Amino acid sequence: MELEALSDIIQSSVEQIKAVVTTNSFTFPSPESQFNLDSEAPRMHPVIQSAGSLITSAAAQLMTLVRPAPLTLLDFMVQVVEIFPGRE
């Protein structure tokens, strides 16, 4: 099932991130952390970047699968209007 496959991609990517964080004694930044280059260093690790890309892609696909199609289309339309104001 596609839902399970996407969930597995997210879970395995999270495990990869946890392994890199543990191996390198990183502190992974939380959303409440103040942004600075030092706090973002873990996200610059190649394995974490790759896993993060897989997580965000799988999450986007998962949201598209579980939401009603009209809501998904509405979200996309709103994003385009925000990116290109004046092109409604």
Measured between alpha carbons, how far apart are the two ends of the chain, in Å? 37
Name the residue range of residue 32's domain: 2-83
CA distance 11 to 5: 10
Q: Residue 88 falls within a domain, yes or no? A: no
Q: What is the mean pLDDT of the chain?
A: 90
Q: Residue 43 falls within a domain, yes or no? A: yes
DSSP secondary structure, 5-18, as one string: HHHHHHHHHHHHHH
Number of domains, the chain: 1
pLDDT exceeds 60 at position 88 = no
Q: Residue 42 falls within a domain, yes or no? A: yes
Phi-psi region of 36 (alpha: psi -120 to 50; beta: other; left: phi over 0): beta
Instruction: State the pLDDT at residue 86.
Output: 65
Q: Residue 10 falls within a domain, yes or no? A: yes
Structure tokens at 69: 């199609």
Instruction: State the pLDDT at residue 42.
Output: 94
